[in-house]
Amino acid sequence: MRAILVEKSGTTQTARLADVPETLLVDGDVTVEVSHSTLNYKDALALTGRSPVVRRFPLIPGIDLAGRVVESGDPAWRPGDAVLCNGWGLGELHHGGLAERARLPGGWLQRIPSSLDARSAMAIGTAGYTAALAVQALERHGVSPADGEILVTGAAGGVGSVAVALLARHGFKVVASTGRTAEAPYLLSLGAASVIDRAELSGPVKALGKERWAGVVDAVGGATLANACAGTKAHGAVTACGLAGGLDFPATVAPFILRGITLYGIDSVKASVPHREQAWARLATDLSPDALASMTREIGLAECFGAAEELLAGKVRGRIVVDVRR
């Protein structure tokens, strides 16, 4: 089968497109014929070796996959079932989706919602699923459209694009923050009420700023997340689900003890099955096909290497779907 394979010799990590034996896939009781995967930020780090994402060698990267079951030792799945998988260590400790086949524990799989096919499920992928988890966290906190503006950072990326579309669909007034102001028409087409330059949030961190945001979906981290917290209204909520701007969090405790805001960490890797199912049910109904099409680009396996460089350079808009058969 064709697959991208990440290998390590000494301290040197490399990635290549190769023909690998299916016997490489040893862990799991369900075999899936993969048709589509995605390219996410974490995948780009794995392909370029710029961060120690891969923790087992050799490894097939790819934190997402969708396709059909071909063999199953799990009674929950039968050949022909249309399935998807996100997280659970795919592309880190377990062979992932950038290959023509995958073998997985049955408990990691989900049915592709009936309104989606494999390609559209991967157009959503981990990025969209993470965005849905973040939106659900805001709603569980009690944030409503009547409370005021919702900030989405890294808005032109995969998580941000889906978050903007989902929030707008439910009547929230979304302020989209991006470093690519040329993408303003795209973000407005997804439903953003306004677009701001990320420079407004990436400067020196304030202990407290003007109360503006009722809630935040942050896909950036670093100073951006800290400033977003400083500008959140009393008893508002901030969801943290990305690190494109850095792992650090140079904040003060002021927003938490003087305004009572809440910071939610969004874990897409080991989220519970009920939370996963709720997120995917929402994505299947609330994300319009037109919005999804506008944020999606499709590539083949061999194109992943160049696309990974683009993604890390901040040049990718929305989502990248990988047709592993190409």
For residue 117, is it within any domain?
no
11 Cβ neighbours under 8 A, 6+ residues apart: none
Quick check: 203 pLDDT over 90? Answer: no
Chain centroid to CA 275: 15
Secondary structure class of 305 (helix, strand, coil): helix
Shared-domain flag, residues 133 and 199: yes
Residue 223 lies in a domain: yes
With H, G, I as helix, E, B as strand and everything else as coil, classify residue 116: coil
Q: Would you state the pLDDT for residue 238?
A: 98
State the residue range of the domain holding 31: 2-112+295-323
Predicted TM-score (pTM) of the model is 0.92
Q: Is residue 193 part of a domain?
A: yes
What are residue 9's DSSP bridge partners? 12
- Rounded CA separation 178/202 (Å): 11
Does residue 26 have a pLDDT over 90?
A: no
The DSSP bridge partners found for residue 237 are 215, 262
Q: Which of 247, 265, 283 is the last residue of a domain?
A: 265
Q: What pLDDT was estimated at residue 265?
A: 97
Tell whether 203 and 90 lie within a shared domain: no
Longest dimension (CA), the chain: 59
Statement to judge: residues 181 and 251 lie in one domain? yes
153 and 259, same domain (yes or no):
yes
Q: Any idea what the Cα angle at residue 116 is, between residues 112 and 117, rounded to 5°?
A: 80
Domain count, the chain: 2
Tell whether 220 and 313 lie within a shared domain: no
- Note the pLDDT of residue 229: 98
DSSP string, 237-295: EEEE---TTBS-----SHHHHHS--EEEE--SSS--HHHHHHHHHHHHHHS-HHHHHHT
Chain centroid to CA 1? 27
Tens of pLDDT, residues 130-183: 999 999 999 999 999 999 999 999 999 999 999 999 999 999 999 999 999 899
Q: Which two tokens stand for residue 311?
A: 């993604």
CA 243 to chain centre: 11
CATH of the domain at 13: 3.90.180.10
DSSP 230-253: HTEEEEEEEEE---TTBS-----S
Per-residue model confidence (pLDDT) at position 51: 86
Amino acid type, 301: L
